[in-house]
Structures are given as structure tokens and as C-alpha cells.
Amino acid sequence: MKASNDPRHQKRRTVARQLFALTFAPNQEVEEQVKEIWSKKEEIDKLITDHAPEWPLDKLNRTDLAILQLAVYELKIEKKEPIKVVIDEAVELAKEMGSENSPGFINGVLGSIIKDDPRLEEKEAL
């Protein structure tokens, strides 16, 4: 596992941690990006549920859910970073913060989301 000092990676780690914390204490002070993700939570969570149907949200590891919420937001809503970067960062966060199975699970869910959205596949091919 690489320990990145890259400020973008540090920011993603902070956002994932704050998303995780919001599931337990929804009234805390958080970064603007976290507020934006939280405001789109229903849309983001539906995508996660659709692509991991065997894992209802209430059964998902909360850390994995926070990482997936961040990655889905970056892929489908924000659309600033290349797809490969978003997936690589999510997998790295899963290695740092999640369980032994988290990286593979997160990679699989994100891969399914990309495969199911031709616009994302086309964008990556460019």
C-alpha cells in the first residue's frame, strides 16, 4: 500500500472519513465537497445498490460505502478526474481504510458502474 502525500489523495481521505462520520452524526461540520455528495446521496446510493444488489446499503461496511459514495460522485457527477484515477484512488483508500476484501469489492462495483454507462466507457477511450 502506498502512503501518498499527494494533497488530492489526502483530500479524498478526509472526504471519505467525513462521509463515514456523517452516517453516525449527521449534524457535524464538514467540507463543501462532503455537503455536495451528501445532497446527492439518494442518487449515488441507488447506483451503488443497483451495482451491488447482493449488498444492501445497511449491510455494507460503512467505510466501503463512504469510499464508494465519493468515487461514484467523482465519476458520475463531478466528472473532473479521469476514470482510471478515480478507481485507483478508491482502491487505494480501500487498502488504507477498509477491510482485506474492500479493494476488490470497490473495484468490482465501480467497474460495473462504468461498464453499465456507455458515456463513461467512451470518455475513457478518448
Better pLDDT: 2 or 95:
95
pLDDT tens digits, 71-94: 999 999 999 999 999 999 999 999
- Residue 50 confidence (pLDDT): 96
Q: What's the rounded Cα separation, in Å, for the pair 73 and 67?
A: 10
Please give the C-alpha separations between residue 74 and each of 1, 10, 54, 119, in angstroms, as whole numbers. Answer: 22, 15, 23, 14
Q: How many H-runs (helices) and E-runs (strands) does the chain carry?
A: 7, 0
CATH match of 7-125 with 1.10.940.10: yes
Question: Which has the minimum average pLDDT: 22-31, 53-62, 116-125?
Answer: 116-125
Domain ranges across the chain: 7-125
Which among 104, 28, 22, 115 has a CA at the least distance from the CA of 70? 22
